[in-house]
Structure 1
């Protein structure tokens, strides 16, 4: 299975960028899990955690709010008003 390319950015900084197997985030319509090959999606973030499972199996967790996430062609971009690693 292919990997995802993931970027988490806030209004003033790049929080995390790397390769991942899975991204789980909370949107205004519920939690979403993204894997390689997922259909394109655009969602408005709800306050909460973004959980990224990296290609080596480790978990990166960021708190994000006030923003959106998008995925297209196995590239996930999360843009938040505020975001920080937990």
Structure 2
């Protein structure tokens, strides 16, 4: 990822399959340290995701929302990797319950 890039390369990978990958404008997740928003150019970090929390991936074509269990969020110069035990895609257009 270059400093001038307007998108992040994001991948969500469960133990047994790739869940989602693509270019994103922003990633929002809840770690054990609190809620985190990642934009292009973010400093590298590693955070443990809260079980049952949601990861929101904002793309040019709309948002993707995942409920995740047993995972981490890793931000590097190459992008954002989200390895998890399991993930379920939710309806991002539905109002919060």
TM category (shorter chain) comes to over 0.9
Counterpart-to-counterpart distance in 2, 1:71 and 1:55: 20
The structure with the largest strand share of the pair is 1
Structure index of larger Rg: 2
How many aligned positions are there?
85
Larger RCO, structure (CA 8 Å, separation 6 or more)? 1
Counterpart-to-counterpart distance in 2, 1:5 and 1:49: 19
RMSD: 1.1
Q: TM-score, normalised by structure 2?
A: 0.83
Q: TM-score, normalised by structure 1?
A: 0.93
Unpaired stretches in structure 2, ≥5 consecutive residues: 91-97
Runs of 4+ residues deviating >4 angstroms: none
